Structure 1
């Protein structure tokens, strides 16, 4: 019925005074009563069109960040810079120096350092999970070689995170 199809059959059951009676309605009559379907179809498709339009506009309104923690030539982040406090390397576009100065530059560098620390925490957690998983499997299967390999596994992100946090403590 939503798309103008009506009921699947032409028989309509009507209850009147407790009795059921049949009313027959021809499909041709219904089609004549529907009128022009062009406007009806447009009105029915309007919610879908609005969703598509809002989605397209929202994609246009999203801006890319002014920096990247890694070299990204496809976005234009090709110029290497380093933050003042933690010496975190990051990459920017050609127009970065003109657009970001003073307090806005400090805000960007603070965001760079926050992202860097968040990445280190995430990578540290992953490295610890890998090491613990390998230790668990070594114990479960009784494999001494795997156990020694797990013991020798390093966690470089955890080491960098620890060093970064120490330098933050010394800074404050």
Structure 2
């Protein structure tokens, strides 16, 4: 995809800049990303040269570290402390710049979604995507290491997901800051700051980034954080004694017993809309000709009123089943349209528009004729 190629060339440019700054570790990471997105001969050749250069420099560093360690034994305590502070400052400067810190601060103190993306309320879909592409690449956690960059990246993703969706944009324009709980407010010096949570929408900020740039990389930071939380939760409870564990499980045990008893007391249904091992005898309603299945030992109702009651239940079940299938088809079509817009894939968008919902059509026809 063209989006992959653009992102690949962007990471290649970042790698060359990192090489110029003598940050070889970051350069190798950017080169790997560039090759994963869209392999080019230049990126592959540069990565091979970097690996060979890194291998040689590692041996030289070991010799240098040995010599430095011997010389440092003769340094004064104050001199060692000053040198350590210098190294810390240098490392910090290599991670992020003052400009990046200021850019993160501006994002985190924005008053609304339009200000986050730097667009007007009349911005077109193309303008929104252009603004998102620029900011997402700038503030992605793999590139920007400034404090709060992850929060800024999430805010950018959520702002785009809302403003790029016509329904959500209309709701935001109408209700503005009252749109709880889509964002959480925090006060800082009398000014509202907005932080978006990954649970607030169908897609996390990292998933939006991957959809937009066509990157299906490793698990997102959110997934890793949730896995870590679940592991910690399990470890904490595993340290409790057996008595407390039994007391906590007793309510669930009683609920389980009640569900089993309820299952034994409830009789099996008279019919099924689809053939199964037990329900394999086909019958048809007198009106609407709806097919349903009963057991081999089924005894037909003796009176017309009882038969009418049975067939009315069959029709109600049929309508409910068709509504469920119709809902699933509509959700699938809307999901295709959303992904097509996020990925700027015109072919997928046309395919989504042509996607039919036969269950919905069938349901409408039936209801019109049944009425």
Query: Which category of TM-score, normalised to the shorter sequence, fits these structures?
Result: 0.5 to 0.7
SS at match of 1:72: coil
SS at match of 2:287: coil
- Structure 2 unaligned regions, length at least 5: 1-252
Q: CA separation of 1:156/1:54 partners in 2, compared to 1, >3 Å: closer, same or farther? A: closer
* Cα distance between partner residues in 2 of 1:159 and 1:55: 38
Aligned to 1:82: 284
* Cα distance between partner residues in 1 of 2:350 and 2:285: 39
Note the 1:64-103 alignment, pairs <5 A: 64-73=268-277, 76-99=278-301, 101-103=303-305
Offset, 1:62 = 0.9
RMSD (Å) for aligned C-alpha atoms = 2.6
| Deviation readout 1:36-80 (Å, 9 max, x if unpaired) | xxxxxxxxxxxxx9988765543321111000000012xx21111
Aligned to 1:44: none
SS at match of 2:263: helix
- Count residues with an aligned counterpart: 121
* Cα distance between partner residues in 2 of 1:53 and 1:140: 48
Aligned to 1:22: none
Q: CA separation of 1:89/1:138 partners in 2, compared to 1, >3 Å: closer, same or farther? A: same
* Cα distance between partner residues in 1 of 2:256 and 2:330: 44
Q: TM-score, normalised by structure 1?
A: 0.62
- Structure 1 unaligned regions, length at least 5: 1-48
SS at match of 1:135: helix
SS at match of 2:299: helix
Greater radius of gyration (CA): 1
Offset, 1:94 = 2.3
Question: Which structure would you say has the larger RCO, counting Cα contacts within 8 Å and 6 or more residues apart?
Answer: 1
Asked whether the 8 Å contact 2:282–2:292 carries over to 1, the reply is: yes
Aligned to 2:361: 159
* Cα distance between partner residues in 2 of 1:51 and 1:134: 40
* Cα distance between partner residues in 2 of 1:134 and 1:54: 42
| Deviation readout 1:76-125 (Å, 9 max, x if unpaired) | 21111111222111001123234564212211111111011011111111
Note the 1:1-172 alignment, pairs <5 A: 57-73=261-277, 76-99=278-301, 101-169=303-371
* Cα distance between partner residues in 1 of 2:256 and 2:323: 38
Asked whether the 8 Å contact 2:300–2:307 carries over to 1, the reply is: no
* Cα distance between partner residues in 1 of 2:352 and 2:340: 8
Structure with greater helix share of residues:
2
Structure with greater strand share of residues:
1
* Cα distance between partner residues in 2 of 1:158 and 1:167: 14
